[in-house]
A and B are shown apart, each in its own frame.
Chain A
Amino acid sequence: MLWACVLLPQLALDAVLRRRPDPDAPLALVGGPAQLRTLHAVNAAAAQAGLRAGMRLTAAHALLPDFATVDYDPQAETRAQRFLAAWAYRHSSLVSAQWPGCLVLEVRASFRLLGPWPRIEARLREELGLLGFQHRLALAPTPRAAHVFAGLRDGLAVMQPAAMAELLDRVPVRRARLPDDTGERLHRMGIRDLRTLRGLPRDGLRRRFGLPLLEHLDRLHGQADDPLAYYAPPDHFDARVELGYEVESHMALLFPLRRLVGDLCTCLSIRDGGVQRFVLRLEHEEGHTDVDVGLLAAEREPAMLFELTRHRLERVRIDRPVVGVRLLARELPPFVPAARDLFDTRPQQQLPWPQLRERLRARLGDDAVHRVAPAGDPRPERAWRRVQGDGGRIAQAPARPPRPAWLLPQPVPLRDPHPRIVSGPERLESGWWDGDDARRDYYVLETSQGQRAWAFAPPGEQGGWMLHGWFA
Chain B
Amino acid sequence: MGAVVALDTLLAARTLWHAGRSAAIAADGEPTGHAALDALLPQGGWPRRALTELLLPADGVGELALLLPTLARFTQAGGTVAVIAPPYIPYAPAWQAAGVDLALLEIVEAAPRDALWAFEQCLRSGACAAVLGWPLHADGPALRRLQVAADSGECLGFALRDRRHAANPSPAALRLEAVRDAHAGTHWQVRKCRGGPAPARSFALAAH
Binding site for B on A (CB under 8 A): 346-347, 349-353, 355-357, 359-360, 363-365, 367-375, 380, 383-385, 392-394, 396-397, 400, 402-409, 449-453, 469-472
Whether the Cβ atoms of B59 and A451 lie closer than 8 Å is: yes
**Is there an interface contact between B108 and A406, defined as CB atoms closer than 8 Å?**
no
Q: Which residues of B contact A (CB under 8 A)?
A: 57-65, 68, 80, 86-98, 101-103, 105-111, 114, 117-118, 121-122, 124-128, 152-154, 180, 185-186, 208
Using CB atoms, name the residue of chain A closest to B180. Answer: A450
Are B125 and A356 touching (Cβ within 8 A)?
yes
Which residues of chain A are near B121, meaning CB under 8 Å? 356, 359-360
Contact present for B96 and A472 (CB under 8 Å): no
Rounded to whole Å, the gap between the CB of B76 and the closest CB of chain A is: 13
Asked whether, in the complex, the Cβ of A371 is within 8 Å of the Cβ of B64, the reply is no
Shortest distance from the beta carbon of A212 to any chain B beta carbon, whole Å: 63
Residue of A nearest to B86 (CB): A406
**Structural contact, B126 and A350, CB atoms closer than 8 A:** yes
Determine the chain A residues whose CB is within 8 A of the CB of B86 once the complex forms: 406
B93:A400 contact, CB within 8 angstroms: yes
Give, as a whole number of angstroms, the nearest-CB distance from A215 to chain B: 61
Q: Would you mind naming 19 contact pairs between A and B with Cβ atoms under 8 Å apart?
A: A349-B152, A350-B125, A350-B153, A353-B80, A353-B128, A367-B109, A368-B108, A371-B105, A373-B102, A394-B102, A402-B97, A405-B68, A405-B94, A407-B90, A449-B61, A450-B58, A450-B186, A452-B62, A453-B60
Q: List the B side residues contacting A406 at CB < 8 Å.
A: 59-60, 64, 86-91
User: B residues within 8 A CB of A370?
Assistant: 106-107, 109
* Chain A residues whose CB sits within 8 angstroms of the CB of B114 once the complex forms: 363-364
Of B57, B98, B103, B122, the residue contacting A356 (CB under 8 A) is: B122
A360 to B128: give the CA distance in the assembly, Å.
Answer: 14
Inter-chain contacts of B124 with A (CB < 8 A)? 349
Q: Is the interface of B mostly helix, strand, loop or mixed?
A: mixed
Q: CA of A343 to CA of B90 in the docked complex: distance in angstroms? A: 34
- What is the CA–CA distance of A408 and B86 in the complex, to the nearest angstrom? 11
CB distance from A353 to the nearest CB of B (A): 4
A374, B93: Cβ atoms closer than 8 Å: yes
Contacts of B128 in A (CB 8 A): 353, 356
Residue of A with least CB distance to B93 = A397
Task: Give, as a whole number of angstroms, the nearest-CB distance from A359 to chain B.
Answer: 6
Q: Smallest CB-CB separation from B182: which chain A residue?
A: A450
- Give the distance to chain B from A416, nearest Cβ to Cβ, in Å: 11
Tell me whether A471 and B152 are in contact (CB under 8 A): no
**Interface contacts beyond A371-B103, A396-B96: sample of 4 additional A-B pairs, CB < 8 Å, sorted by A:** A372-B89, A393-B103, A394-B102, A451-B61
